[in-house]
Amino acid sequence: MSVITLTTDFGTRDNYVGVMKGVILGINPSVCLVDITHEIAPRQIREAAFLLLSAYRWFPSGTVHLVVVDPGVGGKRNPIIVETERYLFVGPDNGVFSLIYEREQEFQVFKISNPQFFLPKVSNTFHGRDIFAPAAAYLSKGTPPSQLGEQINRYVRFPFTGPEIKENILEGEIIHIDRFGNLVTNISEETLKGFVGRDKEEFQIIIKDKILNRICHTYSDVPQGELLVVIGSSGFLDVSANCASAAEMLSAKPGETVRVKRSP
């Protein structure tokens, strides 16, 4: 059975996601549809890129990942397909696949331009329904990307800046806040270990006016209501709280700085 995942900023209040699924099932009734999330903050391309990076590798080879976070819908940005060794990605050429380009060693990008694979009438405001959903459905049936459009060599690629090292400080940022209030940073476990060393060198993790001195294994390593730092399931440093919201406790937002300071 072929699989299509869906990642959008549409939420679930309106009918947009359901309509896209209807279009897909009309083309490939046997496909398995999986929702990664529809709660991306509106128009937040960076957040979508990060959550896609965290999720896409857990699906079977051949999965089509459909991403519609598209503030430029109807404008000059292209609809594209990204083909990697194991996966296909469908969505707007607005940088949402930037982290896929960084992670995957080999890939090809195609502009979706063949109207044969669009819905008969394409609106200016809902390409998720009229272009992206049909493209994903046809790809899930085995249609090669080259039939949907020509390969391109120029595409939008955001310079997602990773953490920066400034003398004895590793400076990163909050890139996502989940529904539990965990503050997910762009500091990976590998980057952290490379900075502080693997010999348990002393260090501090600083966010706003709070200083945390260790990486915990589980939330229960601290009393309920206290802040802690863990390596989250996606492999990045998370600032969390045991049975509480770190985001609320710190009044934190995406983009805010998180520093790791090692002993000189």
Lowest mean pLDDT of 123-127, 176-180, 260-264, name the range: 260-264
Mark which of 90, 122, 152 sits at the end of a domain: 152
pLDDT at 199: 52
Look at residue 157 and tell me if it is in a domain.
no
Same domain, 11 and 87: yes
Mean pLDDT of 2-6: 97
108 sits in the region (left: phi over 0; alpha: psi -120 to 50; else beta) called beta
Same domain, 144 and 16: yes
Average pLDDT of every residue of the chain: 92
Here the CATH number for the domain that contains residue 89 is: 3.40.50.10790
What residues have CB less than 8 Å from 99, skipping those under 6 apart?
49, 50, 52, 53, 160
- Kindly report, residue by residue over 144-177, the tens digit of the pLDDT: 999 999 999 999 998 776 788 888 899 999 988 9
pLDDT at 1: 80
Mark which of 152, 173, 197 sits at the end of a domain: 152
What is the C-alpha to C-alpha distance for residues 138 and 24, in angstroms, rounded to an integer?
8
Look at residue 159 and tell me if it is in a domain.
no
Q: What percent of the chain has pLDDT over 90?
A: 72
Look at residue 52 and tell me if it is in a domain.
yes
Here the CATH number for the domain that contains residue 250 is: 2.40.30.90
For 256, the domain range is: 164-262
| Structural domain total, the chain | 2
Q: Which two tokens stand for residue 111?
A: 């502009």
Same domain, 184 and 119: no
What is the C-alpha to C-alpha distance for residues 17 and 35, in angstroms, rounded to an integer?
9
Same domain, 178 and 61: no
pLDDT at 238: 94
- Kindly report, residue by residue over 189-199, the tens digit of the pLDDT: 888 888 887 55
Look at residue 201 and tell me if it is in a domain.
yes
